Amino acid sequence: MTVAGDLTERRPQRRGGWLTRLISNPRFQHWASGFPLTRGIARRDGAEIFDIVQGFVQSQVLSALVELELLHRLADGPQDPAGLARRTGVPEDRMTILLQAGAALHLLKRRRDGRYALARKGAAILGVPGLEAMIRHHHAFYADMADPVALLRGQGETELARFWPYVFGAAAEMEPEVAHRYSDLMAQSQGLVAQDVLRMIPFKDTRHLLDIGGGSGAFLGAVAARYPRLSLTLFDLPEVIPSARARLAQAGLSARLTLVPGSFRTESLPMGADTISLIRVLYDHDDATVTALLAKIHAALPPGGRLIVAEPMAGGARPERAGDVYFAFYTMAMGTGRARSAARIAALCRAAGFDQIHTPRSLRPFVASALSCVKSA
């Protein structure tokens, strides 16, 4: 390479370094905040940075609104701070602070008469299955994020690692109460995932669907309701099967359903399905476990059989908030697994022998993205 070529390659990097140093200079920031051509950018950047800084307080305000059931109380109509304070055991002045915070976050509305009402976003929280349960569950995640550097260094056991023992293959040690909490939490939120998957992925050509790690069967139930001729198999840990049997029997699916208890870590997968789904499964596990599971799925499918993966995904070359912030750190706190990009999952699927990989546009990346691929004929 010539010297001129080398200099040409370096110029963008040097220019970028110069610009970064300029922007990070306090004197430049002071000037930019007052100069007409730059003050709009400076103020917008400042507001967005402060929004990140105060983000943890916003989350805790939401947590308090849910724990005190204020969204439900206000769903019946506007109420004043004094009445809400009496019913929740919170001093009136502090209840007012919480209500004001909720209004500032557009979860509540402050009326002219001093009462507070539920805003559109607050009402939407009540209408999303499982969202309140997830917010309550966040106590464990907040504890793990209290010292993010310790979490990044892998120092100490995390709360989420204790909550999700199934990830480590501890099925035999899982208490029924823990299995029930896991299944209930997943089932409540799985409805949203099923809605989005069914909008992104068609099942009209599927005859027999095997759902691996299907929990209490919320996803299978949603697919079955849309496709009444589809045969169904659910494969999950023995401790989870009873809740799946009860849920799917109540939905009238017993005649179309086969329940197979087992662990995909140690046992072969059921045969006979032409489509296999992994709904919020891969991001719970490390690459070695995922690689072994994909190999088993490839072996269980017939030529032309299809694999569907749906879960929140990282952005890869284009980082995005849901996958690269929330789910990346959540899976880190679990102690295993990781949020992967669609490109990374596709690469793992290709290595297992799949092709014809399709990644439809995600409707709500914070709920799930999807990928489908086919076993070569």
**pLDDT for 264-320, tens place per residue?**
999 999 999 999 999 999 999 999 999 999 999 999 999 999 999 999 999 999 999
CATH class of the domain comprising 143-375: alpha beta
pLDDT confidence bin for 114, thresholds 50/70/90? very high
High-pLDDT (> 90) share of the chain, %? 66
pLDDT confidence bin for 249, thresholds 50/70/90? very high
Residue 376 scores a pLDDT above 90: no
Using alpha carbons, select from 274, 300, 277, 299 the residue that is nearest to residue 205. Answer: 274
Of 70-74, 151-155, 184-188, 252-256, the one with minimum mean pLDDT is: 184-188
First to last CA, the chain: 47
Reported as a single tens digit per residue, the pLDDT across 51-110 is 899 999 999 999 999 999 999 999 999 999 999 999 999 999 999 999 999 999 999 999
Residue 44 scores a pLDDT above 70: yes
Residue 351 scores a pLDDT above 50: yes
Residue 205 or residue 21, greater confidence: 205
For 151-183, give the DSSP string: HHHT-S--HHHHH-GGGGT-GGG--HHHHHHHH
pTM to 2 decimal places? 0.83
What was the pLDDT predicted at 338?
94
Of 26-35, 88-97, 207-216, 338-347, the one with minimum mean pLDDT is: 26-35
C-beta separation of 223 from 209 below 8 A: yes
CATH 1.10.10.10 fits domain 55-127: yes
What is the rounded CA–CA span in Å between residue 310 and residue 1?
46
Residue 239 scores a pLDDT above 60: yes
Q: Give all strands (DSSP E) within 231-365, no chain letters.
A: 231-236, 257-261, 275-279, 306-311, 354-358
What is the number of residues in the chain? 377
What is the rounded CA–CA span in Å between residue 199 and residue 65?
32
pLDDT confidence bin for 183, thresholds 50/70/90? low
C-beta separation of 354 from 305 below 8 A: no
Reported as a single tens digit per residue, the pLDDT across 313-343 is 999 999 999 999 999 999 999 988 899 999 9
Q: What does DSSP assign to residue 33?
A: T
What is the rounded CA–CA span in Å between residue 107 and residue 118?
7
Domain segments of the chain: what residues? 55-127, 143-375
Using alpha carbons, select from 312, 368, 369, 62 the residue that is nearest to residue 192. Answer: 368
